Amino acid sequence: MIVVPRAHVPIRALNGLLGLLPPAPLSPASLVDRARRQTRLADFGPQGPNEEGLAILCHALEEEAALTPLGRLLARQMLVQALACQLRLQDWLSRVPSILESPIERPLVIVGMPRTGTTILHELLALDPRNRCPLTWEVAHPYPPPDSASYACDPRIARHARELRLSEYLMPGVQAMHRMGAALPQECVAITTQVFVGMQYNTIFRLPSYTRWLEYGADHVRSYHHHRRFLQYLQWRHRGERWVLKSPAHLWTLEALLEVYPDARLVQTHRDPLRIVSSLASMLPTLRSAYSRAVEPHAVAREWSRNCASALDASVASRRAGAIRPEQICDIQFRAFMQDPVGEVRRLYAQFDIPFSADFETAIRHYLAENPASKHGGHRHAFADTGLDPAQERRKVRDYQDFFAVPSED
């Protein structure tokens, strides 16, 4: 069974100390003021900082997330950092407007659900020197812009590696659930969260009203325009032949993605949805326990069962509506990818007429040998622990499984 996780001793100690201090304010006005004072900048650009998204997010954090003192501090830091990133990006674009003239052509975008092999696929594609992935360190610390001359030895890499080691110390076992590294590829969700449109927030915190707004009210085209500007900034002094991007959140917003990147080449990974829900129901309570006073694993399972079904239904609807051309997307089954990752990457490249070199194949095989799935320990989970009815859950995703011929892993 899934046990309600108890935060580790360092987390409990931090929450105890922070609880003695006045609570960190989460009002939009205080956050904007703090970001402006921190950066000594005031201009968010013609569209502003996305006041609607910020207000809805702040309300959900205050009213729904049951924040611990550490959770409140983290939320405030995340929101101030997002606002500061907007300010600094606008400052660079104002001073160097030619950044926006830099083209982004035919990016490869991985759009599979979490726990379907998207992370290792992204890491493998990053081994091709012609590919350009947004790396974790440069998304976390993007200013000043990364430069080819110092890209591999930028001091921000070591800085962010220390930050990630602190995370692992505070929450032991997180690496076994989701591999992190300063020089590993980062998800697009870390970019769209800069304008308060991203599933990073409702992954870390329980935010039902914000989740509904993301699905039904948010302007995702606007967030993808920010995403594109940010990538243009990152590539200004360090280009690649093509961007390789990844986020499960794209599944909810494929049409908005293609409005901003009409020539994108998509890669959708597929796996039994019940395994996805089982994995998330095991992982997220551990993550949330540091930041919330009320974490109920079965509630997390219900929340992400609904989220997964919604995303998978959206992906089927996009195909049936003809929003995605068949030649524009490559489907990869999880089991086939795990059995023959080199063969599946080669097939992906062949579909999109990208040369697959012998050196790239050698790099993939070496990386897989050096980074087995069990390197940081295994992540064990069972659907029986979710509290969900397997027959009912199977009915919810049957249309998706039938449409994409996704086998069950019962």
What pLDDT, on the 0 to 100 scale, is given for residue 6?
59
pLDDT in tens, 137-176: 999 999 999 999 999 999 999 999 999 988 877 777 666 6
Does residue 311 lie within any of the structural domains? yes
- Nearest to 178, CA basis, from 190, 194, 193, 191: 190
CA gap 210, 110 in Å, rounded: 24
Q: Is residue 71 part of a domain?
A: yes
How distant is the alpha carbon of residue 167 from its chain centre?
17
Within 10 angstroms of residue 286's Cβ, the number of other Cβ atoms is 19
In this prediction, residue 177 carries a pLDDT of 64
pTM: 0.93
Positions in the chain short of pLDDT 50: 1-3, 376-377
Provide the angle, in degrees to the nearest 10, between the axes of the packed helices 208-216 and 51-63: 150
Residue 190 lies in a domain: yes
Rounded CA separation 348/331 (Å): 8
Report yes or no on 1 lying in a domain: no
Residue 2 domain-assigned (yes or no): no
Residue 228 lies in a domain: yes
Comparing C-alpha atoms, which of 263, 259, 189 is closest to residue 230? Answer: 189
Tell me, what CATH number does 170's domain have? 3.40.50.300
The parent domain of residue 296 ranges over 9-98+106-404
Note the pLDDT of residue 4.
53
| Structural domain count of the chain | 1
Residue 377: the pLDDT is: 46
Beta bridge partners of 332: 269
